[in-house]
Amino acid sequence: MVMRLFFFLYSWLIFVPLMLATTLVAGLVCLLLIPFLPTDKVAKLTAVPWARLCLLYSGVRVEVDGRHHLQPGQSYVIVANHLSQFDIFVLYGYLGIDFRWVMKHELRKVPIIGICSEKLGHIFINRSDTEAAVASLNNARARLANGASVLFFPEGTRSRDGQLKPFKKGAFKMAQALQLPVLPITLSGTFDILPAGTLRLHPGATARLVMHPALTVTGNTEAELQALVQQSRSAIAAPLRDSSSQLPF
C-alpha cells in the first residue's frame, strides 16, 4: 500500500510535470529547426532526446536486441506489436533508424505532438474513411527515400490485455507494392509499465525491443501477402510467448 501510494504521487507530482515540460521544450525546438534542417536530423535532435528523457523520468530501462539485423541505408516497412503508450518512447528513443509513424488521425489534434508529427513527416490515417486512408498511404510512399522507413502497428490499436491481436494487412500491402523488406519488431515490458485504459504508472521496469531478421518481399499475390502476415506475426510472437506464455498459440 505504501509503495502504491508512492508511485501514485511520483507519477502525478514528478513524472507528469517533467514529461509535459520536456514535450513543450522539445516541440518548440522542433518547430524552430524544421525550416533549416532535414527532418531526420530534427528528429535526432528533438524527438529522440524527448523519448529517452521521458523513459528516464519514469525509471524505465530499455534493452535492445537484434540491431545487427539492420542494413545501413535500407528502407523497411517496420511492424511492431502495441502494448502501451510507452511503446512510442521506446521506439523513438532506441530504434536508431529514420522512420515515419503511421498513426491514427485523431493524434493530429494533440497539442504540440500533433503539429510536430506533421512537420516531421509522420502519416495520419483516418481508419473510418477507406479512401482517405489509402490516399495517405500512397502519399507516404514518396517519403521513403534515403533509407527512411515507415512504421506500422499492424494490430491497429493497443492490446487491452497484453496479448497479441490479429494483424491488419495495410503494412504488408505497402511492402508488396514497394517491394521493401518487412522488419518485425517485438516490444515487451511496456504493458506492465502503463497498461491500456489506466493512468497508473509502474516505474522501475525494464522494456525490451527485439529486432528480427527482415523478411524479403518477392511477389504480390494474395497467398504471398498472407504468408508475409503470418511470418511477421510469428516472429513478433516468439519472444512474447517465451517470456510470458500468455499468447493463445
What is the distance of C-alpha 178 from the center of its chain?
Answer: 21
**183 residue type, one letter:** L
Where residue 208 falls among pLDDT bands split at 50, 70, 90?
A: very high
Whether residue 91 contacts residue 151, with contact meaning beta carbons closer than 8 Å, is answered with: yes
Mean pLDDT of 84-97: 93
pLDDT exceeds cutoff 80 at 198 = no
Average pLDDT over residues 30-34: 96
Q: Give Cα separations from 119 to 24, 47, 140, 239 (angstroms).
A: 15, 12, 13, 35
Q: Residue 247 has what pLDDT?
A: 40
Q: Among all chains, which residue has been given the C-alpha cell 510507452? A: 86
Q: Whose CA is closest to 99, among 124, 119, 122?
A: 122
Residues 102-115, mean pLDDT to the nearest whole number: 86
Q: Is the dihedral of CA 220, 225, 227, 230 positive or negative?
A: positive
Q: Given this model, what pLDDT does residue 224 score?
A: 93
pLDDT at 245: 44
DSSP strands (E only) in 105-181: 123-125, 149-152
Interatomic CA distance for residues 33 and 28, integer angstroms: 9
Whole-structure pTM value = 0.88
The SS3 of residue 149 is strand
Mean pLDDT value of segment 204-231: 92
Please identify which residue in the block is written with the cell numbers 529522440. Answer: 48
CB 58 within 8 A of CB 203: yes
CATH superfamily of 61-244: Glycerol-3-phosphate (1)-acyltransferase (3.40.1130.10)
- Neighbouring CB atoms inside 10 A of 136's CB total 16
What are the distances in angstroms from CA 17 to CA 73, 121, 200, 204?
38, 27, 15, 18
Nine-digit cell string for 202? 509502474
Q: Residue 205 and residue 2: Cα distance in Å, rounded? A: 18
CA distance 28 to 122: 17
Residue ranges of the domains in the chain?
A: 61-244
Grid cell at residue 123:
502519416
The predicted pLDDT at position 129 comes to: 56
